[in-house]
Amino acid sequence: MSKKFTFVDLFSGAGGLSYGFKKVGLTCLSGIDFLKPAIETFKKKP
């Protein structure tokens, strides 16, 4: 049985760290930031 790893990206900015984690198979539950431009960019990441 394989484990599925998940994470929450606090102070996510544009989502670069989340993007890297996703590329290795982790699942992002949520990305949190307070800057509107960063949030909009984070939402556009695959």
Give residue 43's pLDDT. 82
| 1 domain residue, yes or no | no
| 25 domain residue, yes or no | yes
Q: How far apart are CA 16 and CA 33, in angstroms?
A: 13
> In terms of C-beta distances under 8 Å and separation of at least 24 residues, what long-range contacts does 19-24 make, across chains too?
19/45, 19/46, 22/46
Give residue 38's pLDDT. 84
What's the chain's length in residues?
46
| 34 domain residue, yes or no | yes
Q: What total number of domains does the chain contain?
A: 1
| 28 domain residue, yes or no | yes
pLDDT tens-place string over residues 1-46: 678 899 999 988 888 888 999 999 999 998 889 998 888 888 886 6
| 10 domain residue, yes or no | yes
Q: What is the pTM of this model?
A: 0.71
Q: What distances in angstroms separate CA 26 from CA 14, 34, 35, one per listed residue?
A: 17, 23, 24
Q: Which domain holds residue 11?
A: 6-44
Residue carrying structure tokens 């996510």: 12
| 31 domain residue, yes or no | yes
